[in-house]
Amino acid sequence: MAQQAAAAYRTRKRLVEVFSAGCHACEETIKMVRQLACDSCEVQILDMKEREVATLARNLGVRSVPTVIVTSSKLAACCASGPGPDEATLRRLGVGQPTQTGRKRVIEVFSAGCHACEESIQLVRRIACNSCEIKVLDMRDREVATLAKSLGVRQVPAVVITSTEFAACCAGRGPEASALKIAGLGQRIPARDSAKETSQA
């Protein structure tokens, strides 16, 4: 588990998928996405002329091109500076609701094994649905603690949700720079402080 968490930390990026048919509007969207993307973004251009891509698009609910889909991890607001996980906040973030895209929503519960952590784990398990994949990560493991820090976790229990969503602009008129920025394009994911880690080792 610790090795998986370490690998996930080293490779965790915001995945930006652009579904394209090669038309002028698609090329303009690809250009815009590449301009907005930073080193925390992994941009993939998917050609709708390929059968596998068309099947993936259909499964994700893509009905027109260009379409941009973003997969990213977010610390639940109740865990960033509040009392910890609460049902209302987790439900607002989609926990317990089928996903639009058909991809699983990954819910990571960072725990130190205390009673409050166990209660939060049970809460997440109780409200989760078939669209949710739950992972409980032990903060007593150094690699998990490093991952947690990189995601903004400062207290336990904490819940981080990784989900795939249509960029807001793609649910209607088509890709727009402002909506893509809101989805995270161009925003760096904080890097770990390797100098501190080396001195602590």
Q: What is the pLDDT of residues 138-152, one digit of tens each?
A: 999 999 998 988 888
pLDDT of residue 195: 42
pLDDT at 171: 63
How many domains in the chain?
1
How far apart are the C-alpha atoms of 107 and 133, rounded to whole Å? 6
Report, as ranges of residue numbers, the positions in the chain whose pLDDT lies below 50. 1-2, 4-10, 193-201
Structural domain includes residue 195: no
pLDDT at residue 3, rounded to an integer? 52
Let me know if residue 198 belongs to a domain: no
Specify the pLDDT at position 6.
44
**115 domain residue, yes or no:** yes
Kindly state whether residue 111 falls inside one of the protein's structural domains: yes
Sequence-ordered list of residues with C-beta below 8 angstroms from that of 117, at least 6 positions apart, any chain: 109, 111, 156, 157
In a domain, 196, yes or no: no
pLDDT at position 198: 40
- Domain span including residue 61: 2-188
Residue 84 inside a domain? The answer is yes
Give residue 194's pLDDT. 43
